[in-house]
């Protein structure tokens, strides 16, 4: 996934190496004294290619994340609208499902059920580092911040962040516009992909539901909730992946 590649560059220094014997004439190598520097940043904006942001988008959303009381918020996003004056009736109808998000998303946030939509958002890098996974391919470390095994990686990442004790927030203003599929075939393929992705991450949804039940039962305070969530998540991961489920259950109740 390209976004993981870009995020992995942040805060590092590289040298540009040339090799005329391969089809890749230039490539980057980590080098503390290199000349190609990618500065670190506290926030990044994630944006779909078919979306457009309002001019005050970053200013308003980053200001929200910078407030001390919002230090536990990993992602803030704004509901997007369909582009006005769509040329076809289908785009008008499909756009209605996005326009209604302005109301629905406020309800999600009110009930602490916000999930990352993916069309636009400001992401806190500290939170992404918290869900970072390091893989190895051809003896090279590959950093994955956002899982790409489904086509709804934003929703799956929401579960990963919640399991680490982070929260998400829907900003109460529409500050973005996004395109809708121009024909019925494209619309059908889009919605089918979204639905299939939800089935793939269903096991993770069960896990976070279990965690929420434990939070209610144990009446966790805000101060120690994050640490306890991480311990519970590790145990539940073992419960789902371990062949000897009895051992995991005993550890969960110990």
Which span out of 2-16, 59-73, 104-118 was modeled with the highest average pLDDT? 59-73
SS3 for 148? coil
Q: Is the pLDDT of residue 252 over 50?
A: no
pLDDT at 39: 92
The string of pLDDT tens digits covering residues 178-193 is: 877 778 888 888 777 7
Please tell me the pTM assigned to this model: 0.73
The string of pLDDT tens digits covering residues 63-112 is: 999 999 999 999 999 988 888 777 777 777 777 777 787 788 888 888 88
Q: Any idea which fold 41-200 has? A: Spore Coat Polysaccharide Biosynthesis Protein SpsA; Chain A (3.90.550)
Give 129's DSSP letter: H
């Amino acid at each position: 996934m390209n976004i993981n590649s870009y995020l992995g560059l942040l805060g590092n220094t590289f040298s540009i190496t040339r090799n005329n014997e391969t089809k890749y004439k230039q490539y980057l190598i980590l080098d503390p004294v290199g000349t190609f520097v990618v500065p670190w940043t506290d926030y990044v904006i994630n944006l779909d290619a078919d979306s457009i942001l309002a001019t005050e988008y970053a200013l308003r959303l980053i200001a929200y994340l910078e407030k001390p009381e919002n230090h536990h918020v990993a992602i803030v996003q704004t509901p997007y609208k369909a582009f006005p004056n769509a040329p076809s009736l289908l785009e008008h109808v499909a756009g209605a499902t996005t326009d209604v998000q302005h109301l629905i998303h406020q309800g999600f946030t009110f009930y602490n059920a916000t999930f990352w939509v993916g069309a636009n958002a400001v992401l806190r890098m500290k939170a992404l580092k918290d869900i970072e996974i390091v893989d190895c391919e051809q003896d090279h470390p590959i950093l994955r911040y956002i899982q790409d095994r489904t086509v709804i990686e934003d929703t799956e990442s929401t579960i990963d962040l919640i399991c680490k004790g982070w929260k998400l927030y829907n900003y109460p203003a529409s500050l973005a516009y996004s395109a809708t599929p121009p024909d019925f075939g494209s619309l059908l393929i889009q919605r089918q992909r979204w639905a299939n992705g939800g089935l793939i991450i269903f096991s993770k949804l069960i896990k976070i539901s279990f965690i929420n039940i434990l939070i209610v039962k144990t009446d966790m305070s805000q101060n120690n909730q994050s640490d306890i969530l991480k311990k519970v998540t590790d145990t539940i991961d073992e419960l789902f992946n371990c062949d000897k489920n009895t051992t995991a259950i005993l550890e969960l109740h110990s």
